[in-house]
Amino acid sequence: MSVFEGKHILLGVTGSIAAYKAADIASKLTQAGAEVDVVLTEHARRFVTEVTFRAITRRPVLIDLFDEPEERQIAHIHLAKRADVLLIAPATANILAKLAVGLADDLLTTLALATQAKVVIAPAMNTVMWQHPATQHNVRILEERGALFVYPAEGMLACGDVGAGKLADTPTILSAVETALAPPLRGVRLLVTAGPTEEPVDAVRHLSNPSSGKMGYAIAQEAVRQGAEVTLVTGPTLLDPPAGARVVRVRSAQQMLDACLQVYDGVDVVIAAAAVSDYRPAEVWQGKRKKGEEEWTIRLVPNPDILRTLGERKGGRILVGFAAETHELLENAQKKLLEKNLDLIVANDVSQEGTGFRADTNRVTLLWASGRQEQLPLMSKREVARHLLQAVCDLLRAAKATKGASA
């Protein structure tokens, strides 16, 4: 049975040039068994008519806050209570701003305030509008409140510009609604490590690496969206903490290991994306070492190996590691996979343009303990996170099946 069967979806359509694409979304949801109530903003009506949606959904289309399609029911409260998901597609810059501040000046915004249903938002707009700090700020606010965003794709826009702002395609939007209805990682306890570690040399200096933490934070954020209970153990980064994750901040590799071990008993999956310093200074200078003419030799000693330690006490957990390499990528990743008792490793060539440290994109190869390999094209770190979590879901399912068979 489809996850949409018998579910009540409120589909808000706003005044974007992409409004016509909402007809396809309404149609696919209806075909999949959902009951779809379409709400058009006044501006959406300039682009599409209610006739289309009424014919597709075979239900009244709602526009005016004061309309009462069912007698004795206040429409917005009744609809808000019944909804399993409020999907807004396409969402204009205007609706994002209104939702972020909690305005309720028409039916759609009033519904959005009155519902406790999961909210899925698929924006569509001109690239400059999308990238505007006001819009990005509103997106962040709404994400922090738990809204699930289907980010716009890049491509040729109706205005002739090329860039981000195109409404995501229907399958991607439907899969986000599916995630909202049945979060695939619900009940899964996940530990993610992220960022660099810093190994102090004296009171003001440290050894570190250029990891920004973006990959690990994207994994933590996506896992929360997919229903996981996430603990993020993070080295120092400049990133906003992912909404909904429990965040433990550490500095050195030893502190990261201690923080991981503290929660290890209570987790089902570990994704270790942190760039941990392999070495630390043997002695830490007390206070700040003053500048002088003489040489300063710093002796380095190995840090504890976090992944190896976790791998040695793996139990029934799923362990995923990252291998950031500059040469012999797959050979080195394969070696690490075996040595550290991992189920899956993400091999990441950090010498390439647009991949690895600090970039917003990544090009990775997934290597499974079973010998399977999958090379992913260059994609955003958020998309890499989605692929990786899909692989984790598959591993959890396989582990459950094996356990069931041996019980």
Q: In angstroms, give the least distance from the CB of 14 to ligand FMN.
A: 3
Within 281-340, which residues bind ligand FMN (CB under 6 A)?
Answer: none
Beta bridge partners of 86: 10, 119
Name the H helices within 125-246.
Answer: 127-131, 133-144, 170-181, 214-225
Counting other chains too, the contacts that 252-258 makes at CB distance below 8 Å and 24 or more residues apart are: 252/197, 252/198, 252/199, 252/200, 252/277, 252/280, 252/303, 253/197, 253/199, 253/277, 253/280, 253/303, 253/304, 253/306, 254/280, 254/303, 254/304, 255/197, 256/193, 256/197, 256/306, 257/304, 257/306, 257/309
110 binds ligand FMN (CB under 6 A): no
Q: In angstroms, give the least distance from the CB of 40 to ligand FMN.
A: 8
43 binds ligand FMN (CB under 6 A): yes
Residue 354 φ then ψ, to 5° = 75, 10
Spatial distance between the Cα atoms of 139 and 339, rounded to a whole number of angstroms: 42
Q: In angstroms, give the least distance from the CB of 44 to ligand FMN.
A: 5
Angle CA 278–332–319, to nearest 5: 70
Residue number with CB closer to ligand FMN (107 or 392): 107
Residue number with CB closer to ligand FMN (129 or 378): 129
Residue number with CB closer to ligand FMN (120 or 125): 125
Q: In angstroms, give the least distance from the CB of 383 to ligand FMN.
A: 23
How many Cβ atoms are within 10 Å of 304's Cβ, its own excluded?
Answer: 14
Spatial distance between the Cα atoms of 364 and 347, rounded to a whole number of angstroms: 6
- Burial of 212: CB neighbours in 10 Å, binned 0-12, 13-18, 19+: buried
Q: In angstroms, give the least distance from the CB of 99 to ligand FMN.
A: 10
111 binds ligand FMN (CB under 6 A): no
Residue number with CB closer to ligand FMN (1 or 101): 101
Which one among 104, 129, 201, 378 touches ligand FMN, defined by CB under 6 A?
Answer: 129
Within 84-103, which residues bind ligand FMN (CB under 6 A)?
Answer: 92-95
How many chain residues are in contact with ligand FMN, going by CB under 6 A?
Answer: 15
Residue number with CB closer to ligand FMN (89 or 233): 89
132 binds ligand FMN (CB under 6 A): no
Q: In angstroms, give the least distance from the CB of 217 to ligand FMN.
A: 27
- Say which of 55, 159, 204, 261 is annotated catalytic: 159
44 binds ligand FMN (CB under 6 A): yes
The label of the residue with tokens 């190896």 reads 308
Q: Per the structure block, which two tokens stand in for 275?
A: 């760039």
Angle CA 129–108–2, to nearest 5: 95
Residue number with CB closer to ligand FMN (21 or 118): 21
Taking residues 12 to 41 in sequence order and writing x for each that binds ligand FMN by CB under 6 A, - otherwise, the string is --xxxxx----------------------x
Q: In angstroms, give the least distance from the CB of 138 to ligand FMN.
A: 11
- Burial of 200: CB neighbours in 10 Å, binned 0-12, 13-18, 19+: middle
- DSSP 3-state percent helix, strand, coil across the chain (nearest 5): 35, 25, 40
Spatial distance between the Cα atoms of 12 and 53, rounded to a whole number of angstroms: 11
The piece of 9-17, 211-219, 306-314, 352-360 that touches ligand FMN (CB under 6 A) is: 9-17
Catalytic-residue membership of 260: no
376 binds ligand FMN (CB under 6 A): no
124 binds ligand FMN (CB under 6 A): yes
Which residues belong to the active site?
A: 159
For ligand FMN, the binding residues (CB under 6 A) are: 14-18, 41, 43-44, 92-95, 124-125, 129
